[in-house]
Amino acid sequence: MAGDNKGKVIGIDLGGTNIKAAAVTNEGKLVTKLEWATEAEQGVGHVVQRLQSIARAVASEAGWIWSDVAGIGIGIPGFLDFQAGVVERAVNIGWEQVPILDIMQRELGVPVYFDNDANAAAIGEAWVGGGRGFRHVVAVTIGTGIGGGILIDGQIYRGANGMAGEFGHMVMDWGHGHVCNCGQTGCLETIASATAMLRSARQAVERGETTALASYDTESLTTRLVIDEARNGDAVAGRIVRHAMETLGMALSYIGNALNPERIVIGGGVSKAGDVLFSPILTGFQQGALSRVQEACKIVPAELGNDAGVLGAAKLAVR
Amino acid sequence: MAGDNKGKVIGIDLGGTNIKAAAVTNEGKLVTKLEWATEAEQGVGHVVQRLQSIARAVASEAGWIWSDVAGIGIGIPGFLDFQAGVVERAVNIGWEQVPILDIMQRELGVPVYFDNDANAAAIGEAWVGGGRGFRHVVAVTIGTGIGGGILIDGQIYRGANGMAGEFGHMVMDWGHGHVCNCGQTGCLETIASATAMLRSARQAVERGETTALASYDTESLTTRLVIDEARNGDAVAGRIVRHAMETLGMALSYIGNALNPERIVIGGGVSKAGDVLFSPILTGFQQGALSRVQEACKIVPAELGNDAGVLGAAKLAVR
């Protein structure tokens, strides 16, 4: 269908290590995808070139001719100026004041849109993942930190200066706990991120606690192993995961009472772990969410895995 | 200007004790207002009658002829079914399943809109009060409880089932503190409401603490007096107000990081008290709000006092 560009968009997920791109239909069907190294160390110009190349390459892989592509969306790990179309700062890839939308549009001849990576993942899950079919969706990603995104009436909500959904920096342990990257102490992500669970596990081993975790050497221990051992009934691993996820659930109760969403979608590499995560999350949530808020809201796992970012980015270009 | 109904709406604030009504222009200018007793004990039909009568009366007071009125908005202290136009439950006035919009429209021959009272006050402040001119506004009311409302892109956000903005039930003292009306323990409103500050003051007097508060008898002590004594330098009153307002500020930091608003408007009877309230609110907020969130957001006092409810209700009818 040459010349029919209504159904064809491209989503790009720009990460510190890899660039992912997907050819996606208007209805959210992923046709094909590619993953290249970002090579951020070779400078802004190089990465921008690679973004253009991967877009053309994935369209070609999908069997699309370029003039059929209706638009491109990009998820970017940084602070964005939406008015100007400029990446203000993206620490992981060393970008500062990059007018990415103008550059890409000039070179590719199609409309280009962007959002930050957490919002892109939230949009993806709300579109065709754990939140599909619902208007008010909150997405939370458990990873190195805790990311978040808010969809209101199906639209991403960015707030006054793009900071809406920064759930990871709700302070859950006032005046105590670990110092966070943001400079505060006791932030949710210092307790409930994958990184935080792993740190707690390592500390338990170092303290000499009796646990299956001690059978791994410190370097090879991962959050996934901690969760697996918790599921296997290891008491120390269980305590660590339970504390982290109950605290996440308590933070979600704040989000629940404030935003009264229909779905809270939990994503990130560990989110497929099932009850061992979701049971304490629910315990925490039920401790603080009003009963009418609980009635209206289900907490569900993300469904798109690593594709949430490219799918959400693609959605940005669906008009 | 008979026949010109573009600029004329009526806002009604239905409370447990009083019904307030105001004739308001399209631009948010309050022309005139009335306040009558609610007389809720005389039953639903009686109160509905009074709502109709006060609407006609305030229009007449304003010198408007009835056919000039474009619409009526009502703020109601309860849970509403927005789809059906029904008051599900309003405990203070003993209402249950009252199809108020249909009844009012049939009797008065003009479009009638409603929202809950906290949202109406938030809409009023965002329209012509402390949040005017801003798109993303959070309003918090310190009263018997802690009420709230969220405006996103200038529109009130109600959430999945009308519960959005229930900030008063964020648990700030997990597993401790006072039991709240909602059944939870340690809710923000058990710590930072006017009622809670007054309770803390009475307890301090009962414990025999050395304080100017002891010079009032228990019955005549009010939250306003507690705040006055805090401002006068009384250490005990100061500690009580500071703890309550810092805790409020900490809760606002959650709201700030989640919603990234441009303005947080603090209302309620005590909100004119100035620095003695706002300085600890800011201290709490700064402890937990990300710096970019703080940059984008000012915490300001409400400006409309008791008129916020009728003005916000009137705004519901402005098309």
Measure the CA–CA gap between A294 and B311, rounded to whole angstroms. Answer: 32
Measure the CA–CA gap between B79 and A290, rounded to whole angstroms. Answer: 13
Residues of chain B with Cβ-Cβ distance to A243 below 8 Å are: none
Average pLDDT of chain A to the nearest whole number: 95
Q: What is the mean pLDDT of residues A124-130?
A: 97
pLDDT of residue A218: 81
Burial (Cβ within 10 Å: 0-12, 13-18, ≥19) of residue B184: buried
SS3 category, B178: coil
pLDDT of residue A5: 53
**A176 pLDDT above the threshold of 50:** yes
A225 CA: distance to closest CA in chain B (Å):
30
Yes or no, beta carbons of B260 and A288 under 8 Å apart: no
**A135 pLDDT above the threshold of 90:** yes
Question: How far from the centroid of its chain's Cα atoms is residue A94's Cα?
Answer: 20
Q: Tell me the C-alpha to C-alpha distance, in Å, between residue A176 and each of A173, A185, A196, B288.
A: 6, 6, 15, 13
SS3 content of chain B, % helix, strand, coil (to 5): 45, 25, 35
Q: What is the DSSP letter of B261?
A: -
> Which residues lie closer than 8 Å to B49 by C-beta, 6 or more apart?
none
Q: What is the DSSP letter of B118?
A: H
Res. A92 pLDDT band, cuts 50 70 90: confident
Question: Residue B141 belongs to what H/E stretch?
Answer: strand B137-142
Res. A4 pLDDT band, cuts 50 70 90: low
Res. A2 pLDDT band, cuts 50 70 90: very low
Yes or no, beta carbons of B169 and A296 under 8 Å apart: no
pTM of this prediction?
A: 0.93
SS3 category, B169: helix
B263 CA: distance to closest CA in chain A (Å):
9
pLDDT of residue B237: 98
Yes or no, beta carbons of A258 and B255 under 8 Å apart: yes
**A278 pLDDT above the threshold of 90:** yes
> Which residues lie closer than 8 Å to A301 by C-beta, 6 or more apart?
A130, A265, A266, A267, A271, A272, A274, A278
B202 CA: distance to closest CA in chain A (Å):
27
Nearest Cα neighbor of A176 from A187, A192, A164 is: A187
End-to-end CA distance of chain A: 19
Give me the total of CB pairs closer than 8 Å, taking one residue from chain A and one from chain B: 134
Res. A1 pLDDT band, cuts 50 70 90: very low
Strands A137-142 and A18-25: unpaired
SS3 category, A233: coil
Yes or no, beta carbons of B167 and A296 under 8 Å apart: no
| Backbone φ and ψ of B84, nearest 5° | -90, -15
Nearest Cα neighbor of A77 from A145, A127, A10, A169 is: A145
Q: What is the mean pLDDT of residues A287-291?
A: 96
Q: In DSSP terms, which residues pair with B245 in a beta bridge?
A: none
| Backbone φ and ψ of A220, nearest 5° | -85, -10
**A81 pLDDT above the threshold of 50:** yes
Measure the CA–CA gap between A309 and A121, rounded to whole angstroms. Answer: 4
SS3 category, A192: helix
pLDDT of residue B218: 81
Angle formed by the axes of helices B223-231 and B275-288, nearest 10° = 90
The label of the residue with tokens 């009272």 reads B117
For residue B253, what are its two tokens?
């930091």
Q: Within 10 Å of residue A275's Cβ, how many Cβ atoms? A: 10
- Largest interatomic CA distance in chain B: 67
Below-70 pLDDT ranges, chain B: 1-6
For residue A186, what are its two tokens?
């006791």
Give the amino acid at A256.
Answer: G
Measure the CA–CA gap between B85 and B101, rounded to whole angstroms. Answer: 6
Give chain A's count of helices (H) and strands (E).
10, 13
Q: In DSSP terms, which residues pair with B263 in a beta bridge?
A: B137, B298
Residues of chain A with Cβ-Cβ distance to B259 below 8 Å are: 150, 157, 159, 164, 258-259
Measure the CA–CA gap between A75 and B37, rounded to whole angstroms. Answer: 56
What is the CB-side half-sphere exposure of residue A211 using CA atoms within 13 A?
28
Mutate to test the interface with A, among B172, B181, B254 (most CBs of A within 10 A): B254
Q: Chain A residues within 8 A (CB-CB) of chain B?
A: 79, 136, 148, 150, 152, 157-167, 169-171, 174, 182-184, 250, 253-255, 257-262, 287-288, 290-293, 295-297
Q: Which residue of A has its CA nearest to B295?
A: A161
